[in-house]
Amino acid sequence: MATDVDVQYFSHSNGLTLGNNWGDLIRLLDKALVTGIDFTQITAASIDAQGDVHITLYAAHNAMLFQVVELSGFAPVSLNQKYRIKGVPNTTQLILKPALDIAERSITVIGMGKLAPLGYDIIFRDVGDVKRVYRAKNPTAQHPFIRVDESLASDTGSYTATYAKYAMVGLLEHMEHIDDYENLNVAQLPVSVSNPKFNWDIYNGSGSSVVRGWSRWYWRRSASWGGSGADNLSPPTGNAQFALIGDFNAFYFLPSLTPSTPRDLVLYGAGVFESATDGSTIPPWFLMSTLRYNKTAGESQTLWSLDGGLPLLHSKNVASFIVPKLEENNPLPSTATGYPIMPDYQSGSSVLGLTPQTDVNLTIPFHDSPSRLRGVLPHVLYNAGVSLEDITTPTVRVTGSSVYMIAPAYHPSHRKSGFSFYLGEV
């Protein structure tokens, strides 16, 4: 049976850090999306009777079960492919199940290995190294340019470095350079027709009155997801728990805002969904982010209480996200709201009356207003049947031959909430 190796996941357990520092998010995305994480020297390698590859490393690998590994520079060349981690005997050894069967049973040249990235390129980066534009390798016309901006100043405002840490994030149909976002002749998400740079603008001067961006991926704030706070308050130091999972079509980033609330992850995401239409006119994109429209750094707010503030959890509006509006004969759609279709808004907390309790992972279709079915979200699944109360960190579960990564999530009423992400078959 073939092994699926398209969907990869990372977490803080891989030695990646997400602290109270500008640049932490971009550095994390560079490794997870584009470069992967290199292993130290492979000092020994062999192939067992089942065709699995065993490798020994010079130093600790920080790898986890069912992550994707990529080997290169080996002979025979059939070993140069992707694998799922089937076993972790110790901190320097791994057992790898190949995507494609290996006929040989001996290795003549030992090459290199790494935790494979999700499959993106850096299309543009700025001189100051605070901005990125990512896009899928070998993209189709449907794949967006994903712009991530950690800038702190513009011509009309400056954001203080000690304030809350977040990137301004958006999707664009086409870009010629890293700041090419004022072009209303290309589709964007989100978009303000009256002010095309609004999603990326920093204005109102400085200090607590400054307004910085619209669509935001927070990774550090003075208040946790459950608390009310302002962005101009200094966040705590230290590294926080996170998860990142997906493939070249779409990915999800789940940060915790403070080191003291490790289980309180919130779902951010971006990419291409499985469209219920042909997708040739309206881009099949989704974006999960914190949308704070025209809010100053000094305004105190509980982030999850916003519309779209807690994607897929709590209540209809809070659980929403944004998509391009379905407008016939309009190739430049405005921004619409997507509403998930689920048994309830308590993924990970609800057992749906199942007896006996067993893992049930449901795909999540969604609609817009007025209730037109738009498609299905990739990778992420509604988790039911078995409570996630004991899941406090990203964890792998195997059900039959199917593998899932389970991530805890913040919910204001249910401390058992979380999501499943389908990794594939092994």
Q: 185 and 137 in one domain?
A: yes
Task: Please tell me the number of Cα atoms within 13 Å of 401 on its side-chain side.
Answer: 6
Q: 73 and 56 in one domain?
A: yes
Asked if the structure places residue 299 within a domain, the reply is yes
Asked if the structure places residue 385 within a domain, the reply is no
Residue 193 is predicted with a pLDDT of: 87
Query: 350 — phi, psi (to 5°)?
Result: -100, 135
Residue 355 is predicted with a pLDDT of: 57
Q: Which residue segment(s) compose the domain that 248 sits in? A: 11-33+119-346+366-378
Query: 272 — phi, psi (to 5°)?
Result: -105, 130
Domain count, the chain: 2
pLDDT at 353 over 70: no
Q: 337 and 222 in one domain?
A: yes
Q: 231 and 146 in one domain?
A: yes
Residue 384 is predicted with a pLDDT of: 87
Asked if the structure places residue 352 within a domain, the reply is no
Q: 211 and 71 in one domain?
A: no
Q: What is the pLDDT of residues 376-426, one digit of tens each?
A: 999 999 998 777 878 889 999 998 899 999 999 999 987 789 999 999 998
Radius of gyration over every alpha carbon of the chain, rounded to an integer in angstroms: 22
Q: Could you list the beta-strand ranges (E) of 106-239.
A: 112-115, 120-125, 131-136, 145-149, 165-172, 188-189, 202-203, 211-212, 215-220
For residue 135, give the amino acid letter: R
Residue 71 is predicted with a pLDDT of: 98
Q: 240 and 138 in one domain?
A: yes
CB count, 10 Å around CB of 321? 23
Asked if the structure places residue 212 within a domain, the reply is yes
Contact 200, 176 (CB under 8 A): no
Q: 243 and 95 in one domain?
A: no
Q: 74 and 28 in one domain?
A: no
Q: What is the pLDDT of residues 35-88, one digit of tens each?
A: 999 999 999 999 999 999 999 999 999 999 999 999 999 999 999 999 999 999
Peptide bond into 144 cis (omega under 30): no
pLDDT at 356 over 90: no
Contact 216, 290 (CB under 8 A): yes
Give just the sign of the alpha carbon dihedral 3, 4, 8, 13. Answer: negative
Q: 60 and 149 in one domain?
A: no
Q: Point out the domain boundary residue: 66, 87, 115.
A: 115
Q: What is the pLDDT of residues 98-135, one digit of tens each?
A: 999 999 999 999 999 999 999 999 999 999 999 999 99
Q: What is the pTM of this model?
A: 0.96
Residue 390 is predicted with a pLDDT of: 80
Asked if the structure places residue 395 within a domain, the reply is no
Q: What is the pLDDT of residues 288-334, one digit of tens each?
A: 999 999 999 999 999 999 999 999 999 999 999 999 998 877 778 89
Asked if the structure places residue 267 within a domain, the reply is yes
Q: 170 and 111 in one domain?
A: no
Q: Point out the domain boundary residue: 115, 141, 172.
A: 115
The pLDDT of 137-154, averaged and rounded, is 97
Asked if the structure places residue 414 within a domain, the reply is no
Residue 221 is predicted with a pLDDT of: 97
Instruction: Determine which of 211-225, 274-288, 290-304, 364-378 has the lowest per-residue pLDDT on average.
Output: 274-288
Q: 325 and 259 in one domain?
A: yes
The pLDDT of 203-223, averaged and rounded, is 97
Q: What is the pLDDT of residues 14-27, one digit of tens each?
A: 999 999 999 999 99
Asked if the structure places residue 388 within a domain, the reply is no
Q: What is the pLDDT of residues 177-201, one digit of tens each?
A: 999 999 989 999 999 988 999 999 9
Q: Point out the domain boundary residue: 115, 146, 164.
A: 115
Q: 91 and 17 in one domain?
A: no
Q: Residue 68 maps to which CATH number?
A: 2.40.30
